[in-house]
Amino acid sequence: MPAETHLPQIEWRAACESGACPVCHLAGKRTAKYLDSLLWEHVTDREFRYAFRAAGGFCQGHSRDLDSFRDGLAVAILHRDILGDRLEAFRKKKAFKSKAPCVICKERERVEKTYFTLLSESAGAERAAFEASAGLCVPHYGKFLSQVRRPPKWITEIQEGAYRDLMRRVDVFIDYSAFGRDADFATLSPEDKTVWKELARALRSDFP
Ligand SMILES: [Zn+2]
Ligand SMILES: [Zn+2]
């Protein structure tokens, strides 16, 4: 069996050890690589240029990734088209409407789907790695449920069990934050005193 066959499994296990939602971790890494290859290799690719233009450029989030990009020429060539289309829309006093999704978001969706499948079919070392991981963030678990036809029970138990635990800790935090309960609040662990940060993090996806 060629070595590449095992690559997604190796990446998955490493992502599970990252301390973050493994799908956020992998989607972030893969889309950053994709953006890099788009700008280096596909600026002259007509199909890509068309899709980019139809989308009206990258979405707000992925546009921000360009700030740290080194190849100014690729960014200039691609975005010149976009500014041209906007100027044309302004001239006609019409709002610009995109006709396609952001190409990076589309790639991210594809990558997420790949890892949802890998997770739903995982056993042995991959399953153990997920069991020891931070688990999926709430947005990714929602997507996982909508895209995987029969989500394995062991995954739904881990995920929903973890959210219920988080909910219980948040309830205690709220109760102990009430006026006159300083003594109770002082008994909370450092993690429980900042559980609101964990809650905010769990409810969002991270795409570094
Ligand atoms: Zn996530
Ligand atoms: Zn995007």
Average pLDDT estimate for 98-117: 92
- In tens, the pLDDT along 155-208 reads 999 999 999 999 999 999 999 999 999 999 999 999 999 999 999 989 988 764
Confidence of residue 5 (pLDDT cuts 50, 70, 90): low
Instruction: Please tell me the least confidently modeled range out of 22-36, 67-81, 99-113.
Output: 67-81
Confidence of residue 87 (pLDDT cuts 50, 70, 90): very high
**What is the distance in A from the centroid of ligand 1 to the CA of 76?**
32
Ligand number nearest CA of 205 is: 1
Average pLDDT estimate for 61-71: 83
**What is the distance in A from the centroid of ligand 2 to the CA of 133?**
26
Q: What is the pLDDT of residue 43?
A: 81
Confidence of residue 65 (pLDDT cuts 50, 70, 90): confident
pLDDT exceeds cutoff 70 at 122: yes
| CA gap 165, 150 in Å, rounded | 24
Q: What is the pLDDT of residue 166?
A: 96
Who's near 149: CB < 8 A, 6+ residues apart? Answer: none
Q: 95-126 burial, b for 16+ CB within 10 Å, e for fewer?
A: eeeeeeebbbbebbeebbeebbebbeebeeeb
Structure tokens at 154: 């062991």
**What is the distance in A from the centroid of ligand 1 to the CA of 39?**
25
